[in-house]
Structure 1
Amino acid sequence: MSDDEAGVPEIDPKIANAARIYNYFLGGKDNFAADRTAAKMVLSLAPEVRIAALENRDFLTRAVRFLAREAGIRQFIDIGAGIPAARPVHEVARKVHRDARVAYVDNDTVVLVHARALLGRSPGTAVVAGDVRAPEAILDAPELTKLIDLGLPVGVMLIAVLHFVPDADDPAALVRQLVDRLPSGSHVVITHLSDGGVPDDPRIAHVREVYQGGLFFRSRERIQALFDGLELVEPGLVGVNSWRRAGSREVSWWLAGIGRKP
């Protein structure tokens, strides 16, 4: 067993896992039968989810490219990074800045094992065990502070992670805690599942059952509130598939936005 794997709890392949389900939606191979069964159940309810997941990933690429090229961001913190997929943040950012630095953060055992093997050994990257519900601990983690200078603008990625945070943990307050520690010029990128203005849609309840109630679809207004105190970059809060991309439909399972700290 490697040092990276020491002390990591055993993975139970018989229990579906959110990170592996998402990996399946993206066409990845890092999933088990239980994950594929759960994913297919979701797709039977809402076949568009697979396309929405791919659009969400494509938005991540566009957002990182925007932050690097137009905002001049050279360091990133990807919270809730998920199982490594094509075009990870550091590869996209380094097409603009060869010295871009990225800290990948997750609290999922499955993700950490894959990330340490595939991402953590690249110079200028770090893999940090951390939970979005404990933002101070993330920003104070030694692995992060060795790499990321919090005195300089940072791009914080919160891609498809806050909809796993229950209301009791106040996701908007968690974002504010992160923002309070960042310098002016930093940007926060958020994508979040929307209820589409129809919170009573029976498909939402069925999909939440697949995730054992741990998935929270929120209204546009509540997602917009996640950006309080930030200046929303044009075009504001829109579907992940239409952010700075002409000709795309507006409707999406995910809403996306980028906020700049004044």
Structure 2
Amino acid sequence: MSLGEHEWAPPGVDPERPTVARVHDALLGGTENFASDRAVARKLKDVVPEVVNLVWCDRAFVGRVVDYLVREAGIRQIIDLGAGLPTVENTHEVAQFADPTCRVVYVDNDPMVEPHAKAILGGNANADAITADLRDVDAVLGHPALRRLIDLSQPTAVLVIGVLHLLADHEDPHGVVRRYVAALPPGGHLAASGFLASGNPKAKALEVMLQATMGTGHFRDRAAITRFFDGLVPVEPGVVHFPEWHPDERLPGPLAPWEELLLGGVARKPHP
């Protein structure tokens, strides 16, 4: 889609306005982005050169989480909120590699995500993508495409990874997450993450640049991120930095400063 000054955009898409999904795609080296998105990606890399590593770290975390949910937690249905543009090792690919019967629905408010995801999904009968705002819980959970694939009376996982920092406090992100958790049956799982507010200079630099370029980006302290899991049973090791959650290999030593920017975890909804 890199067509210089005359980039084609689907109907309803303004190529002059960067979006989180397309900036994310640009950082990953994808092609589903515009000049405006690439400009934001460059600015983010200027203030935190490791931001590309951060994005790939996020992808790896999602992969390990999904693999755990399917292989160890017995989950066969996943709702991926704020999924962004499909890249590599997508949620449905990881889940269906572990069990081809897994059903996955991607949700994003960027109108480019749904058609791109559907093209990648092809004839995959057990995966779909919908355009919806995760803040509108009723619209998401009541969407016909989601209802076709997801039976909320059966063990289901909701992923809100790499997206909650886009919700300001006045949008009540904790309340939004609680509503999704309330819709899950006992044994359902929540996987969530957030950018960590700290004395780390990279944290403040990235937060300031996100707000300057995207108009959003809210870092939260450990207590606020942990509160997304209130009432749930945490999966070990709890809410930790991404590289510390079920690492594929033993960590070689202290985390790099950029690896300390994100916290995430998984928790299970208990039986009454």
Query: Which residue is equivalent to 2:115?
Result: 113
SS in 2 for 1:209: helix
Gaps of 5+ in 2: 1-9
Whether contact under 8 Å (1:78, 1:158) holds in the other structure is: yes
* Partner Cα separation in structure 1 for residue 149 and residue 56 of structure 2: 30
Q: Give the CA RMSD over aligned residues.
A: 1.8
* Partner Cα separation in structure 1 for residue 126 and residue 17 of structure 2: 34
The Cα of 1:9 is off from its aligned counterpart by: 4.1
Whether contact under 8 Å (2:43, 2:209) holds in the other structure is: no
Residues paired across the two proteins, number: 254
TM-score by length of 2: 0.88
- Stretch of structure 1 that moved more, 20-29 or 64-73: 20-29
Gaps of 5+ in 1: 1-7
* Partner Cα separation in structure 1 for residue 11 and residue 193 of structure 2: 29
Does 2:161 align with 1:159?
A: yes
Whether contact under 8 Å (1:161, 1:192) holds in the other structure is: yes
Compare the two structures and name the one with the higher helix fraction.
2
* Partner Cα separation in structure 2 for residue 120 and residue 142 of structure 1: 19
Does 2:263 align with 1:255?
A: yes
The Cα of 1:47 is off from its aligned counterpart by: 0.9
Does 2:201 align with 1:193?
A: no
Whether contact under 8 Å (1:52, 1:252) holds in the other structure is: no
TM-score by length of 1: 0.91
Whether contact under 8 Å (2:207, 2:217) holds in the other structure is: no
- Stretch of structure 1 that moved more, 164-173 or 128-137: 128-137
Equivalent positions of 1:22-41 (< 5 A) are 22-41=24-43
Query: Which residue is equivalent to 1:93?
Result: 95
The Cα of 1:194 is off from its aligned counterpart by: 1.6
- Stretch of structure 1 that moved more, 127-136 or 141-150: 127-136
Query: Deviation string for 1:137-162 (max 9, x for gaps)?
Result: 21111111111111111011111111
SS in 2 for 1:112: helix
Whether contact under 8 Å (1:197, 1:220) holds in the other structure is: no
The Cα of 1:197 is off from its aligned counterpart by: 4.6
Whether contact under 8 Å (1:112, 1:127) holds in the other structure is: yes
CA separation of 1:202 and 1:91: change in aligned 2, threshold 3 A: closer
SS in 1 for 2:146: helix
SS in 2 for 1:68: helix
Counterpart residue type for residue 162 of structure 1: L
Whether contact under 8 Å (1:84, 1:119) holds in the other structure is: no
